[in-house]
Chain A
Amino acid sequence: MIWIFLLLLIAFVVLAYVAGRALAVRRSQGAKSHSRPSQHGLYALIWVGAPALAMLIAASLFSTSIEQQMMRAGAPDSVAQLEPFRREAFFADARLVGAGQEARQIWPAPYAEELPAEGRRAHRIASTLSWGGGVAALIAAVLGGLFVLTRIRPDLRARNKVEGWITGVLFACSVVAVLTTLGIIFSLVIDSLRFFSMVPITEFLFGTKWSPQIAIRADQVGSSGAFGAVPLFAGTFLIMLIAMAVAAPIGLFSAVYLSEYSGRKTRAMVKPALEVLAGVPTVVYGFFAALTVGPALRVFFNGIGDMLVGGPLNGLGVYLSLVQNQMALVAGAVMGIMLIPFVSSLSDDILNAVPQSLRDGSYAMGATKSETVKKVLLPAALPGIAGALLLAVSRAIGETMIVTMAAGLAANLTLNPLETVTTVTVQIVTLLTGDQEFNSPKTLAAFGLGLTLFVVTLLLNIVAMRIVQAYREQYD
């Protein structure tokens, strides 16, 4: 039913545009009008469309509660005396019956007789409401149209008013993103505060034992509930270091190659190929790490270990021969590969922003390409490249999927890349997946971790953006 109103409304809106334009032409009578006829038309269109749209939105927001009120008010005594839970279930079934479907439950005697009548009533109420909403929208459109048609005069500043509306709509769209961010921060902070009221913040930030399982019964074993997040921070840091050790040199050097050495043809091939890496979903990197790189590295280290066993480095050999699939090195290395295109394309942009005159100056002094890169371009681009690397760091810290699949879950406090470690993001995932009660510190710990992560990456991003920006301005 509602789509008839929608069609009518669209017709109204088009009519308003045409009428507004025609009216503007006629009322100006050839004299100079402030705005162009089509702007008057748009102005009329807005005044017809906006109130109708507002009315439709209001109708859809309130119709459910109005309908419930009406159902309750007109219900026969037997139904009205039901307990609220059962009563709402009855109404729900009445709606189904009214719409020509089967009821979900089998209702006992007094109610079963009422069901068809109530169904008809529910149907009547629903259609009244939808008609009402549609008619209200049409009335609003007509009123808006009448109002605006009286206002169209040659001196009406329709152009400015239309611009004002457009600004308003664009602003509203951008506000959505900002409000979402604020909402995220708000929910993080609220739940974190609840967590910190159960676990002291000092224990969280400086404690070295992470074991979020909490004993439900006193006699349970192995469920101490320790919330020292230092092992998580250390694991995150370790994996980030490994990732950057891979991504920074490879990304930077490929950027140097692309921007300074490669010919146009090579560049046209290599650059998109590198950027394909950026399009690979992280979960694919994740199982590449867990199923390919992890076992390969394990075989490699086990092999070395087996060779060393019995020799002078027996201890190391035994350790290496027992290395497992999941280790910080695997997750870090694969994450580094993921970050290569990120670093290289940012650094490439930054190197390209260094003015050609500096290169010319250096070549004209008899410097070779590598001397020019090393002594002029990289120093000139250094702040920007540092910014790019910081952005990559903040991505490495926030990356979840690869570490979840390849780094393991054990919260070891270690800097050994061959151990399994766990990161902040992995712990958030494990704390919040599956059935959870929502008041235990175990679940709330995820919000504490989330807030920490958010603050750290936010700060990193701010610093990095500042640096990149300051550098960009230098040569403009």
Chain B
Amino acid sequence: MKSRILRAPEGTSNGGASEPATLTTVPTVGAHASAPMGPIKIAARDVSVFYGDKQALFDVSLDIPDKTVTALIGPSGCGKSTFLRTMNRMNDTIPGTRVTGRIEMDGGDINDRKIDPVLLRAQVGMVFQKPNPFPKSIYENVAYGPKIHGLASTKGEMDEIVQKSLKRAGLWDEVADRLHSPGTGLSGGQQQRLVIARAIAVEPEVILMDEPCSALDPIATAKIEELIDELRERYCIVIVTHSMAQAARVSQRTAFFHMGKLVETGDTEEIFTNPRERRTLDYITGRFG
């Protein structure tokens, strides 16, 4: 499968156009990058995060395009998960956390006083490291968000939302006959897809994934990666991953974090074949991390 030349999204400060020659020589990397990237969905400017007195993130500026998978990579404790959690203000739930800088989504600052984090999180879904289905039935898990936000007024509408979400998450065929058995009874990979179905049931625009495959076996991981690639058509996806192979497989854009700083960002092909920074090269070639 050949990759096309990727068009750098307008207004990106970091992502430059790739050399066509580089791409064709590395056909496996970014193999899914066939769809064009959308406009900038989220723009972070000088974002710093403090846990109490400890600064976890230093002046990160990053543009995240729509309808694209952006991978955040870096060694443990580099701040990539912290940055991910600033985008749906999940850091608000940890006492003593302070965020400075601007994070704009569709041009509006999400840290603005007027923005209700509860509504923001309905727009920005999140999938966690460990599958965390609620101790309820599969149906109730998916219906949780729509119920809270009043997205369905009749039982029929709710059934439709549940079915649609489970289908998009690629879980429908496996659970259609046991929608009312507990979600915690599914396998790890199925649970993670259930959680993804739960997240997309509220029609978010952005989906944040915090190492979604780290607790899964290779087969379940492959399924989730396939799913991520399908979801890219509709959503802006940001994924934190420890696996460089995974970043290369599923993402079109990659940002490399180290020691709380954003070191380098660009098209995935570029980062993996021709990194500008020495540290990036060392990390992706496994010299540290």
List the A side residues contacting B149 at CB < 8 Å. 366
Q: Give a binary string over A355-367; 1 marks a CB under 8 Å from any B CB, 0 the rest.
A: 1011111111111
Q: Name the residue of chain A whose CB is nearest to the CB of B195.
A: A361
Q: Name the residue of chain A whose CB is nearest to the CB of B121.
A: A366
* Cβ-based interface call for A380 (8 A): yes
* Cβ-based interface call for A371 (8 A): yes
Q: Give a binary string over B126-152; 1 marks a CB under 8 Å from any A CB, 0 the rest.
A: 101010111110000000110011000
| Given A364-B88, A375-B144: A359 in contact with B93 (beta carbons within 8 A) | yes
Q: Name the residue of chain A whose CB is nearest to the CB of B120.
A: A366
CB distance from B128 to the nearest CB of A (A): 6
Give Cα A364–Cα B118 distance, bound, in whole angstroms. Answer: 8
Number of A-B residue pairs with CB-CB distance less than 8 Å in the complex they form:
68
Q: Please state if B93 and A380 are interface contacts (CB–CB under 8 Å).
A: no
* Cβ-based interface call for B266 (8 A): no
Give Cα A359–Cα B128 distance, bound, in whole angstroms. Answer: 11
Q: Name the residue of chain B whose CB is nearest to the CB of A376.
A: B134
Q: Please state if B119 and A366 are interface contacts (CB–CB under 8 Å).
A: yes
Give Cα A109–Cα B154 distance, bound, in whole angstroms. Answer: 110
Interface residue from B118, B123, B126, B132 paired with A358 (Cβ < 8 Å): B132
Give Cα A360–Cα B132 distance, bound, in whole angstroms. Answer: 9
Q: Please state if B148 and A364 are interface contacts (CB–CB under 8 Å).
A: no
Q: Name the residue of chain A whose CB is nearest to the CB of B92.
A: A363
List the A side residues contacting B88 at CB < 8 Å. 364
List the A side residues contacting B148 at CB < 8 Å. 365-367, 371, 375
Interface size on B, as a range, is 20 to 34
Q: Name the residue of chain B whose CB is nearest to the CB of A474.
A: B135
Q: Please state if A365 and B122 are interface contacts (CB–CB under 8 Å).
A: yes
Q: Please state if B90 and A360 are interface contacts (CB–CB under 8 Å).
A: yes
Interface residue from B118, B135, B136 paired with A368 (Cβ < 8 Å): B118
Q: Please state if A357 and B128 are interface contacts (CB–CB under 8 Å).
A: yes
Give Cα A361–Cα B132 distance, bound, in whole angstroms. Answer: 7
| Given A357-B128, A365-B202, A371-B148: A380 in contact with B121 (beta carbons within 8 A) | no
Q: Please state if A380 and B134 are interface contacts (CB–CB under 8 Å).
A: yes
Q: Please state if B128 and A360 are interface contacts (CB–CB under 8 Å).
A: yes
* Cβ-based interface call for A272 (8 A): no
CB distance from B196 to the nearest CB of A (A): 12
* Cβ-based interface call for A310 (8 A): no
| Given A363-B121, A365-B125: A358 in contact with B134 (beta carbons within 8 A) | yes
Q: Name the residue of chain A whose CB is nearest to the CB of B201.
A: A365
* Cβ-based interface call for A379 (8 A): yes
List the B side residues contacting A362 at CB < 8 Å. 134, 144
Interface residue from B95, B128, B135 paired with A263 (Cβ < 8 Å): B95
List the B side residues contacting A379 at CB < 8 Å. 134-136
Q: Please state if B135 and A365 are interface contacts (CB–CB under 8 Å).
A: no
* Cβ-based interface call for B228 (8 A): no
CB distance from A442 to the nearest CB of B (A): 53
* Cβ-based interface call for B40 (8 A): no
Q: Please state if B202 and A355 are interface contacts (CB–CB under 8 Å).
A: no
List the B side residues contacting A263 at CB < 8 Å. 95
* Cβ-based interface call for B258 (8 A): no
* Cβ-based interface call for A264 (8 A): yes
Give Cα A358–Cα B119 distance, bound, in whole angstroms. Answer: 19
Q: Please state if A360 and B93 are interface contacts (CB–CB under 8 Å).
A: yes
Q: Please state if B125 and A364 are interface contacts (CB–CB under 8 Å).
A: yes
| Given A366-B149, A379-B135, A379-B136: A357 in contact with B144 (beta carbons within 8 A) | no
* Cβ-based interface call for B232 (8 A): no
Interface residue from A357, A359, A368 paired with B130 (Cβ < 8 Å): A357
CB distance from B53 to the nearest CB of A (A): 15
Interface residues of A in 365-404 (CB under 8 A from B): 365-368, 371, 375-376, 379-380
List the A side residues contacting B95 at CB < 8 Å. 263-264
Give Cα A442–Cα B195 distance, bound, in whole angstroms. Answer: 66
* Cβ-based interface call for B198 (8 A): yes
Give Cα A371–Cα B149 distance, bound, in whole angstroms. Answer: 11
Interface residue from A264, A363, A366 paired with B93 (Cβ < 8 Å): A363
* Cβ-based interface call for B199 (8 A): yes
Q: Please state if B198 and A365 are interface contacts (CB–CB under 8 Å).
A: yes
List the B side residues contacting A366 at CB < 8 Å. 118-123, 145, 148-149, 202
Q: Please state if A364 and B90 are interface contacts (CB–CB under 8 Å).
A: yes
Give Cα A357–Cα B195 distance, bound, in whole angstroms. Answer: 12
Q: Name the residue of chain B whose CB is nearest to the CB of A355.
A: B132
Q: Please state if B195 and A367 are interface contacts (CB–CB under 8 Å).
A: no
Q: Name the residue of chain B whose CB is nearest to the CB of A475.
A: B135
List the B side residues contacting A376 at CB < 8 Å. 134
List the A side residues contacting B130 at CB < 8 Å. 357
Q: Name the residue of chain A whose CB is nearest to the CB of B122.
A: A366
Q: Give a binary string over B79-105; 1 marks a CB under 8 Å from any A CB, 0 the rest.
A: 000000000101001010000000000
* Listed A/B pairs (11) with beta-carbon separation below 8 Å: A358-B132, A358-B134, A360-B132, A362-B134, A364-B90, A365-B125, A366-B119, A367-B118, A379-B134, A379-B136, A380-B135
Q: Which residues of B contact A (CB under 8 A)?
A: 88, 90, 93, 95, 118-123, 125-126, 128, 130, 132-136, 144-145, 148-149, 195, 198-199, 202
Complex A-B, nearest 7 residue pairs according to Cβ-Cβ distance, in ascending order: A366-B122, A364-B126, A357-B132, A366-B121, A361-B132, A365-B145, A380-B135
A364-B199, A366-B122, A366-B123 are known; give 6 further A-B pairs, CB within 8 A. Answer: A263-B95, A355-B132, A360-B132, A364-B90, A365-B125, A365-B145
